[in-house]
Amino acid sequence: MRVQASDGASSPLTSHAKLLIEILDVNDNAPEISVTSLLNTVKEDASIGTAIALVSVFDKDGSKNGMVNCKISNNNYYSLVVDGPLDRESTSQYNISITATDEGTPPLSSTSVITLHVSDVNDNKPLFTENIISVYVKENSPIGAVIKTVSATDADMDQNGQVRYSLLHDNSNSVPPSTMVNINSETGDIVSLQAFNYEELKTFQFKVQATDSGVPPLSSNLLLNFSHYSGRLVFELCVAIRGAECRLTCSSLNILQKKKKTFMCCFP
């Protein structure tokens, strides 16, 4: 601005001067954070360096009062990019706090929070609690009876964690397992398709496969060893004939009825 000074004479004399007024800044504005999210959800197999968000910071103050340092709270990484492997099964969501602080005295700061969800990929196969199971089946059990239920769990979610069961066919059995048993693809119930005869088939084995519905699907196998038992108790019996020179050994007895401690038996 211009300033004029005049004296009080009848013919006053004047002089002029320019007055420059400088307004000094005080630190009265906190930084403003603007976040543009590129990904609200990131896959757990995202490559390192995948950009998640663009962050811009503005401070209305000048000089050092307007100089801003940006950081992510809790000593986390500065850049909002994937900087390491993700695992949805251990951490499915991140709440990232971004704090911007100017260099004024006293310093002012503001904070913005970004919520990042980790989506699932099919990186876990179904797992059985055991790799081999022994199953005992009673002879002449009714057709359609559930003789065993198998179960596998998958740590993935949605269709990646949906498990279905099937019989595996190989050349280890002379008779295909599908002619002897069937498995419910959803529940894992194994049901008999025939009344097993102990005298004809004492043991057999086959594999059950658990497969998820992911892309590509993952699977694991379970080996089942089946043994039949007749449900009859067999004793060896030695009979001595009084007065004879030899002892006769009879092979076996089938228990028909038991009353208290007395067994009623007949020879086969």
Unique residue bearing structure tokens 């876990």: 124
The mean predicted confidence, pLDDT, of the chain is: 79
- At a CB cut-off of 8 Å and minimum separation 6, what does 246 contact? none
Give the CATH number of domain 27-119; options: 2.60.40.60, 1.10.8.60, 3.90.1200.10, 3.40.50.1370.
2.60.40.60
Tell me whether domains 27-119 and 127-241 share a fold. yes
Q: What is the pLDDT of residue 265?
A: 46
What is the pLDDT confidence band of residue 171, given thresholds at 50, 70 and 90? low
Class of domain 127-241: mainly beta
189-194: average pLDDT: 93
Q: What is the pLDDT of residue 242?
A: 53
100 vs 256, higher pLDDT: 100
174-202: average pLDDT: 87
- Whether the per-residue pLDDT at 158 is higher than 90: the answer is yes
What is the pLDDT confidence band of residue 157, given thresholds at 50, 70 and 90? very high
103-116: average pLDDT: 85
Q: What is the pLDDT of residue 101?
A: 86
Give me 155's structure tokens: 């740590």
Q: What is the pLDDT of residue 261?
A: 41
Instruction: Evaluate if pTM is beyond 0.75.
Output: no
Q: pLDDT tens-digit profile of 121-148?
A: 999 999 999 999 998 888 888 899 999 9
Mean pLDDT is lowest, of 23-37, 100-114, 131-145, 181-195, for 23-37
Q: What is the pLDDT of residue 99?
A: 83
What is the pLDDT confidence band of residue 219, given thresholds at 50, 70 and 90? very high
Domain range annotation of the chain: 27-119, 127-241
Q: What is the pLDDT of residue 259?
A: 36
28-40: average pLDDT: 78
